[in-house]
Amino acid sequence: MSSTEHIEEKLRSSQELGDITHLEVVDMSDGCGAKFQTVIVSSKFEGLPLLQRHRLVNKVLEEELKVIHAFQMKTLTPEQWEKTKAS
């Protein structure tokens, strides 16, 4: 199974997602690596609809998603992230 550290490393090192300014990866499966919840903030998401953002992330984690049972993601631009933090 995957670990939070592995998921974080894979996301941060991907060229598809560019410079990730904020990243949260939480293992929601009590440590077995089957369910993850993420928040990914990148300027690469600028101008992209939600579905395209998710497809970018899915492409990066293609191999990992074959064994992960559930993967929840919030994909935000830096501007959206700042608004979220302010509210």
The CATH number that domain 3-78 falls under is 3.30.300.90
Residue 7, burial from CB neighbour count under 10 angstroms (0-12, 13-18, 19+): buried
pLDDT at 1: 59
Residue, of 1 and 16, whose pLDDT is higher? 16
What average pLDDT score do residues 78-86 get? 93
Residue labelled with tokens 């939070």:
4
Residue, of 31 and 46, whose pLDDT is higher? 46
Helix or strand run (H / E) with residue 42:
strand 35-42
What average pLDDT score do residues 72-86 get? 95
What average pLDDT score do residues 15-27 get? 95
pLDDT digits 0-9 by tens, 33-77 = 789 999 999 999 999 999 999 999 999 999 999 999 999 999 999
